[in-house]
Amino acid sequence: MRILLIILIAIMVSGCAATASRGAMSRANSNFLKGDYTDTIAISDRALRTYDYTDDEKAELLFLKASSYMKLDDIDATVSTMKYIADKYPDTEHGYRAIQILSRVNSG
Protein backbone atom coordinates (compact mmCIF):
# COMPACT_ATOMS: atom_id res chain seq x y z
CA MET A 1 0.00 0.00 0.00
CA ARG A 2 2.82 2.40 0.87
CA ILE A 3 4.61 1.76 -2.43
CA LEU A 4 1.39 2.41 -4.34
CA LEU A 5 0.99 5.74 -2.54
CA ILE A 6 4.58 6.73 -3.38
CA ILE A 7 4.02 5.83 -7.04
CA LEU A 8 0.81 7.86 -7.18
CA ILE A 9 2.52 10.89 -5.62
CA ALA A 10 5.39 10.61 -8.10
CA ILE A 11 2.96 10.50 -11.03
CA MET A 12 1.06 13.53 -9.72
CA VAL A 13 4.24 15.55 -9.21
CA SER A 14 5.54 14.78 -12.69
CA GLY A 15 2.17 15.68 -14.17
CA CYS A 16 2.19 19.02 -12.36
CA ALA A 17 5.69 19.81 -13.64
CA ALA A 18 4.64 19.05 -17.21
CA THR A 19 1.59 21.28 -16.85
CA ALA A 20 3.70 24.10 -15.40
CA SER A 21 6.26 23.86 -18.20
CA ARG A 22 3.52 23.99 -20.85
CA GLY A 23 1.99 26.94 -18.99
CA ALA A 24 5.28 28.83 -19.10
CA MET A 25 5.51 28.29 -22.86
CA SER A 26 1.93 29.43 -23.27
CA ARG A 27 2.55 32.59 -21.22
CA ALA A 28 5.66 33.41 -23.24
CA ASN A 29 3.71 33.04 -26.50
CA SER A 30 0.78 35.04 -25.17
CA ASN A 31 2.98 37.89 -23.95
CA PHE A 32 4.80 38.01 -27.27
CA LEU A 33 1.50 38.27 -29.15
CA LYS A 34 0.39 41.07 -26.79
CA GLY A 35 3.62 42.95 -27.49
CA ASP A 36 5.07 42.52 -24.00
CA TYR A 37 8.54 41.61 -25.26
CA THR A 38 10.46 42.31 -22.06
CA ASP A 39 8.23 39.92 -20.13
CA THR A 40 8.48 37.33 -22.92
CA ILE A 41 12.27 37.36 -22.50
CA ALA A 42 11.99 37.03 -18.72
CA ILE A 43 9.46 34.19 -18.90
CA SER A 44 11.54 32.34 -21.51
CA ASP A 45 14.70 32.65 -19.42
CA ARG A 46 12.96 31.52 -16.25
CA ALA A 47 11.25 28.60 -17.99
CA LEU A 48 14.50 27.40 -19.56
CA ARG A 49 16.22 27.49 -16.16
CA THR A 50 13.34 25.83 -14.30
CA TYR A 51 11.88 23.09 -16.51
CA ASP A 52 13.12 20.25 -18.67
CA TYR A 53 12.11 20.73 -22.29
CA THR A 54 12.71 18.85 -25.50
CA ASP A 55 15.14 20.39 -27.99
CA ASP A 56 12.16 21.58 -30.07
CA GLU A 57 10.64 23.32 -27.06
CA LYS A 58 13.94 24.91 -26.04
CA ALA A 59 14.47 26.18 -29.56
CA GLU A 60 10.93 27.60 -29.61
CA LEU A 61 11.41 29.47 -26.33
CA LEU A 62 14.77 30.80 -27.49
CA PHE A 63 13.24 31.86 -30.81
CA LEU A 64 10.55 33.79 -28.92
CA LYS A 65 13.33 35.41 -26.92
CA ALA A 66 15.30 36.32 -30.06
CA SER A 67 12.15 37.64 -31.74
CA SER A 68 11.44 39.76 -28.67
CA TYR A 69 14.93 41.22 -28.83
CA MET A 70 14.30 42.01 -32.49
CA LYS A 71 11.05 43.83 -31.64
CA LEU A 72 12.98 45.79 -28.99
CA ASP A 73 15.61 46.72 -31.61
CA ASP A 74 18.37 44.95 -29.71
CA ILE A 75 20.18 43.67 -32.79
CA ASP A 76 23.23 42.26 -30.97
CA ALA A 77 21.07 40.16 -28.63
CA THR A 78 18.86 39.09 -31.55
CA VAL A 79 21.79 37.89 -33.64
CA SER A 80 23.60 36.17 -30.77
CA THR A 81 20.44 34.33 -29.69
CA MET A 82 19.66 33.31 -33.28
CA LYS A 83 23.25 32.04 -33.66
CA TYR A 84 22.88 30.02 -30.47
CA ILE A 85 19.63 28.45 -31.72
CA ALA A 86 21.17 27.69 -35.13
CA ASP A 87 24.27 26.11 -33.56
CA LYS A 88 22.62 24.21 -30.72
CA TYR A 89 19.33 23.13 -32.34
CA PRO A 90 19.89 23.02 -36.14
CA ASP A 91 17.60 20.00 -36.58
CA THR A 92 14.54 21.72 -35.13
CA GLU A 93 11.99 23.91 -36.92
CA HIS A 94 13.15 27.00 -35.04
CA GLY A 95 16.79 26.09 -35.60
CA TYR A 96 16.09 26.00 -39.32
CA ARG A 97 14.28 29.34 -39.13
CA ALA A 98 17.18 30.87 -37.22
CA ILE A 99 19.62 29.62 -39.87
CA GLN A 100 17.47 31.17 -42.60
CA ILE A 101 17.26 34.52 -40.80
CA LEU A 102 21.01 34.58 -40.17
CA SER A 103 21.76 33.78 -43.82
CA ARG A 104 19.62 36.76 -44.88
CA VAL A 105 21.34 39.01 -42.36
CA ASN A 106 24.79 37.89 -43.52
CA SER A 107 23.97 38.29 -47.21
CA GLY A 108 22.48 41.77 -46.81
Given a cut of 90, is residue 1 above it in pLDDT? Answer: no
Given a cut of 70, is residue 50 above it in pLDDT? Answer: yes
CATH of range 8-107; options 1.25.40, 3.40.50, 1.10.286, 1.20.120? 1.25.40
R_g of the chain computed on alpha carbons? 17
pLDDT tens per residue across span 8-48: 444 444 444 456 578 888 999 999 999 999 999 999 999 99
| Biggest CA pair distance of the chain | 67
Question: What was the pLDDT predicted at 106?
Answer: 80
- Report d(CA 25, CA 47) in Å as an integer: 8
What residues does each domain of the chain span? 8-107
Q: What is the pTM of this model?
A: 0.81
Question: What was the pLDDT predicted at 105?
Answer: 81
